[in-house]
Amino acid sequence: MVWNTNLRWRLPVICLLLQVALVVLFGVFVRYDSDADPHWLDTKEQENSTSDMENEFYYRYPSFQDVHVMIFVGFGFLMTFLQRYGYSSVGFNFLLAAFGIQWALLMQGWFHSYYQGYIHVGVENLINADFCVGSVCVAFGAVLGKVSPVQLLIMTLFQVTLFSVNEYILLSLLEVKDAGGSMTIHTFGAYFGLTVTWILYRPSLHQSKERQSAVYHSDLFAMIGTLFLWMYWPSFNSAVSNHGDAQHRAAINTYCSLAACVLTSVALSSALHKKGKLDMVHIQNATLAGGVAVGTAAEMMLMPYGSLIVGFICGIVSTLGFVTHVAFTTCMACPASSAPSWVL
Amino acid sequence: MVWNTNLRWRLPVICLLLQVALVVLFGVFVRYDSDADPHWLDTKEQENSTSDMENEFYYRYPSFQDVHVMIFVGFGFLMTFLQRYGYSSVGFNFLLAAFGIQWALLMQGWFHSYYQGYIHVGVENLINADFCVGSVCVAFGAVLGKVSPVQLLIMTLFQVTLFSVNEYILLSLLEVKDAGGSMTIHTFGAYFGLTVTWILYRPSLHQSKERQSAVYHSDLFAMIGTLFLWMYWPSFNSAVSNHGDAQHRAAINTYCSLAACVLTSVALSSALHKKGKLDMVHIQNATLAGGVAVGTAAEMMLMPYGSLIVGFICGIVSTLGFVTHVAFTTCMACPASSAPSWVL
Amino acid sequence: MVWNTNLRWRLPVICLLLQVALVVLFGVFVRYDSDADPHWLDTKEQENSTSDMENEFYYRYPSFQDVHVMIFVGFGFLMTFLQRYGYSSVGFNFLLAAFGIQWALLMQGWFHSYYQGYIHVGVENLINADFCVGSVCVAFGAVLGKVSPVQLLIMTLFQVTLFSVNEYILLSLLEVKDAGGSMTIHTFGAYFGLTVTWILYRPSLHQSKERQSAVYHSDLFAMIGTLFLWMYWPSFNSAVSNHGDAQHRAAINTYCSLAACVLTSVALSSALHKKGKLDMVHIQNATLAGGVAVGTAAEMMLMPYGSLIVGFICGIVSTLGFVTHVAFTTCMACPASSAPSWVL
């Protein structure tokens, strides 16, 4: 965690200013959702008495906690494969995500949950805020080690804002279906990250290239990130699907796609290595592409074999992209982002 | 894991004796809760047929597993930041927690779930037993590296007993509301730990001070503990709330408070460092204070902005306390314990 | 990740062939379960309108995700205590499990979910596929460091097939009750692994014995595996139990048995060490035996004290077995497998 010590007051001041602004905006705009507010529930129960179990909380909360783990442990540890930045990776990811979820609750709230003069926040808003921050984590991967925490906070501020506008245009105006957020989250995040990298690019940065080597223990930490992302992806893709069979189907489809993706990633990684060895970085990145690619269609009647085909193709395309450097920087940004060429 | 080898039979004998006593007491006193017992359910279903989904299990079980992870992985790995004690930290935490949950099931059972001659155990009892052990884990942080496993087991025996009496007085006699257990769990745990440290204090212990330095990988392990505590805190505060909107609200409030706390902790940590750097130990400890402080009021109509204010203040107070050494030992005990000055 | 580089095309070819075969078989045989298919639900709802909450998804999904973590993080990291194989352990476990779950969906589907010309896949099938792969992970422990990924894939192919036949004979033909899969999963896995080790045994393998030493950080990684297995075992044993009180009871019984097992494992480990120290490998392995042993009877009216007795005995037997080398190789196979002598 090294940055210009002459500017030492910038981080504290910006953190406090942002947090004060958030407190004020929450005070003015944010209230509880009807499912979290006893007054609304009283009215509802007078009309027709329902079970407590019908609360949105019980439909969404287990998936929410899984998504939360993906954002903080999954993305945080995924980046530790870069030896020197392992520590910053986890810590800075923590900082930007904690700020991002608050700002996302507001931005997404204004677009999607604003009525009767207030943003109404429930567990589904928490999940969507985590999704939005997932997009920032993807972009963070592209700029890791090149930016200070202050720059990261500013990047998060802009990206969450743009994300929400983009999401509003795609989902509300164009009425695109994008359950797992392949377009809004992963592709957007990857290209945003690339753009930021391009803006920040200075030739002198090449000198620090040797810092990017991985070490043994760093890789094991990175596997913690990879595995939690991989395991919980079915929750990611089904967290905000419709109740019942749609949520059920989204989980099954993602499970199938992810499993298929592992085998084709291993096959390509081994085939493209001159000694036939496996490169763990390929595995870490490509295996997740299956979850991203199936995201958009996860709750549709894709059929299990359809999901396997998606995973099959993704494992190949993303490993190829990684090895041939065509999509190198994109892939660096995030496991997920290696899929866009197929998604689009 | 070093202790006086002359006393080598003490640990096995005490472990076996304690476990035999627990088996006998469980045999005499503990039976299943009505929701886990088919005979009771038969009666209930004759009266008015309800869905299987109305079983307490489905309201509480996902939160229970999250709390379980907090106790064993969260608190276990949190302490690994002390280089030499990393290993003992995880192992001893495992031992004391495994003993503590059994003893807590009995002690809390006698006070709260005893009727018809038996303690009736269901998933809510399991959560409360985990909560009680959470208090022991907080105290454990204050004595880490100073006590043997035998002493830890005895400390657990006493602390769980006192915890249950204290909880009974606060919740049942004084009818205090303390959903997230800020008072019963965290403050009690911190002061119990401090008292034990004070009793065990010997000047010679200062000589081993150099053992307390952190190393790079230890810090990454400690981040695993921190993050699992941070991520699952909404489950901690909502696990035993009332069904429906109260549980929903407790999760939202905790989510908001925790997020705000991260930004102010980072601000203070950077502002108080002479070169403006971040101290990861501050972040690890202070970020969790937001979860503790909001605990008592988590299920109330605190409003999202109210939760942000709680987190805002906590991040500042606990980092300040940590740096100025006013609450140094308390803070060492646990991230959580840095909040009491504000809570009380 | 070292294997014969002359055979470098074998792994990619086998991976791709297996995955193509799986895609074709899924295309011919696999469709969605009625709870994941809107057409079936439409019919059901016309008959008697039920809540979305009655979907099997909400009864099983949280447990499914816990089991998923046990298979990929739990078993993956458990084996990292062997210094040199830590990395292969996580990676190869990932590969074999990703292949295994797909093949298990088919094999178990033909035996248990085949009707109207199709295998119907729902969340319960996903859990059972994970269980089946759990058995492969147990066997994998016995052959770690002795086999190439290609051999592992072939072993998985055979073991999943045999597992499904064995499971069909035990559960469907002999109508044995085995909720937690102590027999079908753990005992079968351990003996399958032993058989494979026996087939692969060559005297020259002894030369690489010094590779099997553990190092400090490896042990902390292994504790991540151990703890996630230990914490989520209640979900493992209750995941496919009957709705309501049976699932509730299975979780309580497993929780009790696991806690008791920790104390007796520690007692025996310390008593059998000549200086009274604890051996973390005992703790890692024996503590889990309590979960395995209670598996078969988990949903029965075992009573909490009955579960404690099961855990008590298991901790002693499995640590004794480990130390006296009677069951040495079995124990190496998996924490779980140290129980069979008691289970059978």
Evaluate whether B338 touches B322 at the Cβ level (below 8 Å). Answer: yes
Mean pLDDT over A176-196 rounds to: 77
pLDDT by residue (tens digit) across A202-261? 655 554 444 444 455 667 888 888 899 999 999 999 988 888 888 999 999 999 999 999
pLDDT-wise least confident of A20-34, A192-206, A293-307, C149-163: A192-206
Give the tokens for residue A197. 């990298």
Q: How far is C2 from chain A (nearest CA, A)?
A: 7
- The CATH code of domain A23-35+57-200+214-342 reads 1.10.3430.10
Q: What is the mean pLDDT of residues A12-23?
A: 93
Q: Does B8 touch chain A (CB under 8 A)?
A: no
For the stretch C228-253, pLDDT in tens is 999 999 999 998 888 888 899 999 99
Q: How far apart are the first and last CA of chain C?
A: 37
pLDDT at C84 over 70: no
Of all residues in chain C, the percent with pLDDT exceeding 90 is 34
The amino acid at C230 = W
DSSP-derived secondary structure letter, A326: T
Question: Under a CB-based contact definition with an 8 Å cutoff, are residues A104 and A270 in contact?
Answer: no
Strand order in the sheet with B30-32: B30-32, B118-121, B114-115
> Which residues does C175 contact at the CB level (< 8 Å), separation at least 6?
none
Q: B110, exposed or middle or buried, with CB in 10 Å at 0-12, 13-18, 19+?
A: middle
Please state, in angstroms and as integers, the Cα–Cα distance from residue C286 to each residue in A164, A176, C298, C337, following that order.
51, 53, 18, 9
Location of structure tokens 């402080």: B293
Cβ–Cβ gap A248/C57 under 8 Å: yes
Q: How far apart are CA C170 and CA B281, in angstroms?
A: 53
Q: Which residues of A touch B217 (CB under 8 A)?
A: 217
Which residues of chain B make contact with A219, given a CB cutoff of 8 A?
none
Which residues of chain B have a CB within 8 Å of the CB of A53? 51, 53-54, 58-59, 243
* C160 — pLDDT class (breaks 50, 70, 90): very high
Q: Assess whether pLDDT exceeds 90 at residue A272.
A: no
More confident residue, A82 or C99: C99
- Per-residue pLDDT for C324 more than 70? no
Q: Which of C215, C221, C245, C268 to mutate to test the interface with B (most CBs of B within 10 A)?
A: C245
Q: How far apart are CA A252 and CA C87, in angstroms?
A: 29
Q: pLDDT tens track of chain B, all 344 residues?
A: 444 445 678 888 999 999 999 999 999 999 998 888 887 655 655 555 567 888 889 999 999 999 999 999 998 888 776 555 667 788 889 999 999 999 999 999 999 889 889 999 999 999 999 999 998 988 888 787 778 888 899 999 999 999 998 888 888 888 777 766 777 787 788 778 878 877 776 655 554 444 444 455 667 888 888 899 999 999 999 988 888 888 999 999 999 999 999 999 888 888 887 777 777 777 777 777 888 888 878 888 889 999 999 999 988 888 887 766 544 444 343 443 333 332 22
pTM score, whole prediction: 0.88
Calpha distance A177→A42 (Å, rounded): 34
- Residue A41 confidence (pLDDT): 57
* B2 touching C (Cβ < 8 Å): yes
The ipTM is 0.86
> With contacts defined as CB-CB under 8 Å, which chain C residues touch B69?
231
Q: For chain A, give me the number of helices (H) and strands (E)?
A: 14, 3
Distance CA A119, CA A137 (A): 25
pLDDT in tens, C196-220: 877 776 655 554 444 444 455 667 8
**d(Cα C332, Cα C327) in Å, to the nearest integer?**
9
Task: Using only the alpha carbons of chain A, give its radius of gyration.
Answer: 20
Sheet of C118-121: strands edge to edge? C30-32, C118-121, C114-115
Which tokens in the block code for residue A274? Answer: 């001159």
User: What tokens does C189 get?
Assistant: 């896995």
pLDDT tens for C218-231 read 678 888 888 999 99
**Of A92, A99, A100, the residue nearest A75 (C-alpha):** A92
Average pLDDT over residues C279-289: 77
Q: Are strands A118-121 and A114-115 parallel, antiparallel or unpaired?
A: antiparallel
Beta carbons of A267 and C101 less than 8 Å apart? no
Question: How distant is the Cα of B290 from the closest Cα of chain C, in angstroms?
Answer: 25
Q: Return the number of CB contacts < 8 Å for A and B.
A: 176
Is residue A329 scored above 70 in pLDDT?
Answer: no
Partners of A166 in the β-ladder: none
Q: Which of A7, A14, A15, A215 to mutate to test the interface with B (most CBs of B within 10 A)?
A: A15
The verdict on a CB contact (< 8 Å) between C57 and A244 is yes
Partners of C227 on chain B (C-beta within 8 Å) are 72-73, 76, 90, 94
Q: Distance (Å, rounded) from C-alpha B2 to C-alpha B328?
A: 26
Closest Cα in chain B to A34: B245
Tokens 């753990």 appear where?
Answer: C186
Distance of CA A20 to the CA centre of its chain: 26
Return the amino acid letter for B125. N
Classify each residue of A138-176 as buried b or exposed e, where b means 16 or more C-beta atoms within 10 Å of its C-beta.
bbbbbbbeebbbbebbebbbebbeebbebbbebbeeeee
In angstroms, the separation between the Cα of residue A273 and the nearest Cα of chain B is 30
Residues A247, C122: C-beta atoms closer than 8 Å? no
Q: How many residues does chain A have?
A: 344
Interface size between B and C, measured as CB pairs under 8 A: 177
List the strands of the sheet with A114-115, edge to edge: A30-32, A118-121, A114-115
Residue C244 backbone phi and psi in degrees, to 5: 80, -130
Strand partners, C120: C31
Nearest CA in chain B to C67: B65
